[in-house]
Structure 1
Amino acid sequence: MNKGITLATGKYFKVIDGDDWVDTDSLIKFVEKLKNMNSDLVLTNHTEVYPNHTMKVCLVHDLVDGKTYTWNDKFDIKRVALHTLTIKTRLLQQNKVHITENCFYVDVEYVIWSIYLAHTITYLDIYLYMYRLGNNNQSVSKMNMLKNVNMQEKVSYQLVKLYDQFNQKSNMSINQDDTIFNTFKRSIGSTMRTYLLLDTQSARLHIINFDKNISNISRMSFNKLNEDKFIKFLRLDNYFMIPFIRALYKFWLLKYAYLDK
């Protein structure tokens, strides 16, 4: 990704993961619209592609198709993902954005940098990105996430540092901060859920150590993460609820076939 940012010459920059693709007809429409746009950040919809079905996903509400907004406007973005964003190339290059290398799960770094650097946003009601899921060989499969949990930790700590850094500069609007936080907390929660795949004692020890490291990096971020219901529940009574939460999570994974029965 870093080499792509350095070498890019186009007005806009978009990342397509190696497992995924874009819908051809939607891409043609998207490029034509980009030619007449000047927003810093362009958001689109995506389609989740499973082995036996597809599901269209829209993560924004209250944004009019094609209208340009700023972070001071009123709208609801649940979160921003790699699949949904396109960013002006010069913003990445001028701010010397550098993403952690030789590591999975770094897309969230790129996402929160893009949100932070953008001043204007346009939503296009186009289902552009085809996001492949349900393949056990993917880095986002549960077993591979457990195998690569050290990478999740590494990225999570970097996200904590970035969120703390952005807040210290005190130039974010409430809407921008909320959008970054909604994206950031999901990644932290994902790392904690990966630990729940371990045995109960190991899960508890890893989550406590992980949370302690977050606190050491940024007490502000640590406290802010209590706004996430899942993380707050994990922390209750000195992490006493972890065995119960782990059992519920394993049941949910088995029910929806995310783990081998």
Structure 2
Amino acid sequence: MDKVLTVSVAAYNLENLIEQNLHSFEKCKNIDLLEVIVTDDGSTDHTAEIVSKYVQKYPGTFKLIKQKNSGAGSTVNSGIRHATGKYFKMIDGDDWVESENLDKLLENLYKIDTDIIITNYEVYDETISKVIEYKNFRGKLQEGKIIDFSKACNDVQFAMHQVTYRTSILKNNNIVLDNGFYTDVEYLLLPVQYLKTLIYYDLNIYVYRVGRNGQSVSLESLQKHIDMHDLVFKRLLNEYERIKNNLSNEKRNFILKRLTDMAYYQLRTLMSFEMTDNNIQTIKDFVNYIKNNSPEINERFSQIKKVKLLLKSNYHLIGFVSKQFRKEIN
């Protein structure tokens, strides 16, 4: 049977969590429509052994790709390269799916033909073992109707957890992410120029785990990987400048909003460090980079309250603004 959906699972040292992920696919009634590609990014624990058991039990569904440790983005690239399903979705190995709802989605995917599918996701807090938030587009997107992608751009900003692409969009246009962290925004933005149609299903599919030590959203991790976030941001900014004249106004605004958010998060992380002379110069260099390379992003970025205060004071209030950023992170 042809595969309707390829799910790319990123796994690195997840021996205590990966089974919950894999079991959520195993429980699907329509498992024969699924292709689950687990890319083990050089794990040093028993992650690969656990995945191998699922490969042996369901050889038509589960696949294990082993590679040297190369970073989160490389696992998505691996999934895209090996994907055979009509549609493609990515999921982190410490997260999982709602099996019954995935079954419903698979039944729909079997019938439709569109470039991108948007679904809901849940936020699960590890510290209290409870779902704390439900993310959906009820009232913003009409369910079950294929629409022009550009028409949805003004109404929504979706997350990686909500997106399923037509696989050929990724393969035929050579969508390749950087290898490290924070490549989820690349995954969201690089395909935008090729997207024509969208459909929304009001189904909670992805369960996103938060509160786990070492996650990329923690302050420690943000500071540790700040150079990677900077690299991804600048790559996407340069790509936008290259293609912007070929985009609809709606697509341009969609990308600009996300890039402005990225610029803000980068500045926020820079401001979380001690305000030494070197760090202050790094902040100034980053702000000037935006000003010199993207007037559109700079226009939006400079109007953000904290950024505006920083610029209007000619950085004299940098200590005060830094404290405000730290409060926001904490």
TM-score calculated relative to the size of structure 1: 0.86
Structure 1 equivalent of residue 114 of structure 2: 39
Structure 2 equivalent of residue 57 of structure 1: 135
CA distance 1:32–1:70, shift in 2 (3 Å):
same
Structure 1 equivalent of residue 61 of structure 2: none
Question: Post-superposition shift, 1:236?
Answer: 3.2
Structure 2 equivalent of residue 79 of structure 1: 157
Question: Post-superposition shift, 1:215?
Answer: 3.8
CA contact (8 A) 1:197 1:246 kept: yes
> Which stretch shifts more, 54-63 or 103-112?
54-63
In structure 2, distance between residues paired with 1:234 and 1:250: 15
Q: Indicate the SS of the match to 1:77.
A: coil
Q: What amino acid is the match of 1:106?
A: T
In structure 2, distance between residues paired with 1:207 and 1:61: 40
CA contact (8 A) 1:42 1:123 kept: yes
CA contact (8 A) 1:67 1:123 kept: yes
Q: Does 2:213 match 1:213?
A: no
Structure 2 equivalent of residue 93 of structure 1: 171
Q: Does 2:262 match 1:184?
A: no
CA distance 1:90–1:160, shift in 2 (3 Å):
same
Q: Indicate the SS of the match to 2:84.
A: coil
Cα distance per residue 1:85-116 (max 9 Å; x no partner): 11111111111111112x11111011101322
> Equivalences for 1:1-261 in 2 at 5 Å?
1-50=76-125, 51-52=127-128, 53-54=130-131, 55-58=133-136, 61-73=139-151, 76-101=154-179, 103-167=180-244, 170-201=245-276, 203-226=279-302, 228-253=304-329, 258=330
CA contact (8 A) 1:46 1:131 kept: yes
In structure 2, distance between residues paired with 1:227 and 1:40: 34
In structure 2, distance between residues paired with 1:152 and 1:75: 24
Q: Indicate the SS of the match to 1:62.
A: coil
CA contact (8 A) 2:175 2:190 kept: yes
Q: What amino acid is the match of 2:158?
A: V
Q: Indicate the SS of the match to 2:200.
A: strand
In structure 1, distance between residues paired with 2:139 and 2:255: 16
Question: Post-superposition shift, 1:64?
Answer: 0.6
Structure 1 equivalent of residue 55 of structure 2: none
> Which stretch shifts more, 227-236 or 16-25?
227-236
> Which stretch shifts more, 64-73 or 218-227?
218-227
Rg larger in structure: 2
User: Unmatched 5+ residue regions in structure 2?
Assistant: 1-75
Cα distance per residue 1:173-199 (max 9 Å; x no partner): 222222222222222211111112101
Report the number of matched residues. 251
In structure 2, distance between residues paired with 1:84 and 1:175: 20
Question: Post-superposition shift, 1:14?
Answer: 0.7
In structure 1, distance between residues paired with 2:143 and 2:224: 41
In structure 2, distance between residues paired with 1:24 and 1:145: 32
CA distance 1:124–1:223, shift in 2 (3 Å):
same
CA distance 1:82–1:166, shift in 2 (3 Å):
same
Identity of aligned residues (%): 29
Q: Indicate the SS of the match to 1:239.
A: coil
In structure 2, distance between residues paired with 1:74 and 1:144: 33
Cα distance per residue 1:63-94 (max 9 Å; x no partner): 11111111453674341221111111111111
CA contact (8 A) 2:121 2:208 kept: yes
Q: What amino acid is the match of 2:176?
A: H
> Which stretch shifts more, 11-20 or 227-236?
227-236
Q: What amino acid is the match of 1:39?
A: T
Flag the structure with more relative contact order, 1 or 2, with Cα contacts below 8 A and sequence separation at least 6.
1
What root-mean-square deviation, in Å, do the aligned CA atoms of Structure 1 and Structure 2 show? 2.3
Question: Post-superposition shift, 1:41?
Answer: 1.0
In structure 2, distance between residues paired with 1:14 and 1:99: 14
Q: What amino acid is the match of 1:246?
A: S
TM-score calculated relative to the size of structure 2: 0.69
Cα distance per residue 1:146-190 (max 9 Å; x no partner): 1111111111111111221221xx232222222222222222211
